[in-house]
Chains A and B, each alone.
Chain A
Amino acid sequence: MKGLRWILLVAALVVLAAVPWFGSDVLVQFGINALLLAVLAQGWNIIGGYTGYASFGNSVFYGLGSYGVAIAMVQWELPFAIGMVFGVVLAVAFAFLLGLPVLRLRGHYFAIATLALAQVMIAIVSNLSIAGQNIGLVLPPLNDDRLFYELSLILLIAATATVFWLTRSRFGFGLIAIRENEEGAAVMGVNTTLYKVLAFALSGVFSALAGGIHAYWITFLDPASAFDISLNVKMIIMAVFGGPGTVLGPVLGAFVLSTVSELLSSEITSVAGLFFGLVVVVAVIFMPRGVADLMRRFRATGWRYFVKNLKAHRI
């Protein structure tokens, strides 16, 4: 059983890695988007799924990563890789500076506080001349979708490996303990403040790297699109749909929902948005722990799985 799972995983990776060699341009571009969204969902999974802090600040990390690459390449004429490092440094600095005060808040208060961060960043960046103010920056174009695709895939593998490590490590257990009961974790010796900030930073690193790749690929960015809060909503929906606090759930969620949304928007544009919302609402009601939990338990409980979830909502 375990061996089979590994074989399937490796096979899936080989197929994914080969897409740019057999797929159409459109498929590869769809793939880059889907992979980057999966990275974002997986990054959010670290702070939201494992640590239990529903962050709306991850689009800020994404924006910082985008601007890190753009500023380094456009203003300082440095290579892309250094821009990525710069973006990561910005994200980590942000996580420590703002994470410390914001992570003292719990539940809804934390969500609302982080929600405000993106707006603040748009205001700040719109007034920075080094960031091109509200006009934005245009990056040197690189016409190599195959490279962007493989970079995104490597990043997704790194993010997923990191999350897998969480499920096997003391650090990850500390985060889970914080999610399950923060006071209970503290009296057992978990340095909750430090762990939360580290989780926020780690989550931010992956968001920033995704933002950096995206910026170089798209070659253009402005404050409103770099710090777009709807992107944060998207990553949460994908992670929650797939299964927050699981290793593969957010990736699955990102792939499934990217595909559904792509199919719908090419067929019936007007109802696409509505249908997408409906799918998510139904999913949250009938399988609140995501696809990953559904697949794990459906075999044992059958259709009762949905009934049980429905009852849990007291509808």
Chain B
Amino acid sequence: MSAVLGITNVTRRFAGLIAVNDVSFTLNQGEILGVIGPNGAGKTTLVSLISGTLAPTAGDIAFEGRPITKLPAYQRARLGIGRTFQIMRPFPGLSVLDNVAVGALFGHGGGESDLDKARELARAQLDFVGLAKFADQRADELGGPSRKRLELAKALAMQPKVLLCDEVMAGLNLVEIDEVIEVLKRVRERGISILVIEHVIKAIKSLSDRLLVLHHGEKIADGDPDTVLSDARVVEAYLGRRRA
């Protein structure tokens, strides 16, 4: 298996705290890598470092073997890195369809330059995530669960090679979670490699090929999901969180 993303000794400091501390790992072609960790572990920061909305304090990030640490976010998007936001970033005044069309107009490879074609591609993505009936609504009129799907559709419309999902299942009920899991599995079948952050352990277990655990910014485990979840340090990190 070849590595699509290579993270090498990446550190990110904020004033007075280290959000991501000397983390290294790879995301392999066609893989679903689950990332878990207690609140404040540095998961979102990690995704921001990869997508380019934050710059690392130290370390290197490579995409398909090529260093991207210095590239601005939009260039990484054009190379094929798509992300969703935990704190959702829809374009509130645009229709749901046009939110997704932006992904098709830009995105991987620079996107589709024709608006009508981009909207067609967007409609297909809305169908795919089950939002087709909301296409003409304004994005800020969507309910919470639908907004999560919108985040996903926007990123998918970019035709990315790598998809970084930051808690796309948070706040969803069990049925909705299963639907999103199905969607992500089908995304992987298209050959897209996925990094998925999630708190719902059951969901992440059924989805991930491999699991990575962050705790206080450090990687404390990385490997087969069952092994990782029975690891003493991981259990402790989660129990510690529950007691707190």
Contacts and interface: CB of A to CB of B under 8 A. Distances in A.
Interface of A: 168-170, 173-174, 176-177, 179-181, 183-192, 245
B52 interface: yes
B27 interface: no
A168 B118 CA distance: 11
**Is the contact region of chain A dominated by helix, strand, or loop, or is it mixed?**
helix
A191 B91 contact: no
Nearest to A194: B74
18 contacts: A169-B115, A170-B111, A170-B118, A173-B102, A174-B105, A174-B106, A177-B91, A180-B90, A180-B93, A181-B90, A186-B53, A186-B72, A186-B73, A187-B73, A189-B110, A189-B111, A190-B102, A191-B74
Given A181-B90, A189-B110, A173 B77 contact: no
B74 A190 contact: yes
Interface string B47-61: 000011100000000
Given A173-B115, A177-B102, A184-B89, A189 B72 contact: no
Most chain A CB inside 10 Å of its own CB: which residue of B77, B103, B113:
B77
Contact of B91 (A169, A170, A176, A189): A176
Contacts of B123: none
A181 B91 contact: yes
A176 B115 CA distance: 14
Contacts of B113: 170
B85 interface: yes
A177 B77 CA distance: 15
Nearest to A289: B93
B77 A187 contact: yes
A187 B51 contact: yes
Given A184-B90, A186-B73, A170 B105 contact: yes
Contacts of B225: none
A109 B82 CA distance: 30
Given A170-B115, A176-B94, A181-B90, A187 B52 contact: yes
A245 B113 CA distance: 21
B89 to A, nearest CB: 4
B149 interface: no
A184 B85 contact: yes
A183 B86 CA distance: 13
Interface residues of B, number: 34
Contacts of B72: 186, 191
Interface string B88-110: 01111110001001110111101
Contacts of B74: 186-192
Contacts of A169: 115
Contacts of A181: 89-92
Contact of A187 (B83, B93, B101, B111): B83
B115 A168 contact: yes
Given A187-B52, A189-B77, A173 B110 contact: no
B102 to A, nearest CB: 5
A173 B78 contact: no
Contact of A188 (B92, B93, B98, B102): B102
Contacts of A187: 51-53, 73-74, 76-77, 82-83
A185 B94 CA distance: 13
Contacts of B76: 187
Interface string B155-188: 1001000000000000000000000000000000
A185 B102 contact: yes
B154 interface: yes
A83 to B, nearest CB: 35
A182 to B, nearest CB: 9
Contacts of B154: 188
A190 B90 contact: no
A189 B107 contact: yes
- 6 tightest Cβ-Cβ pairs between the two chains A and B: A189-B106, A180-B91, A184-B89, A189-B77, A186-B73, A181-B89
Contact of B92 (A180, A183, A189): A180
Nearest to B88: A184
Nearest to B108: A189
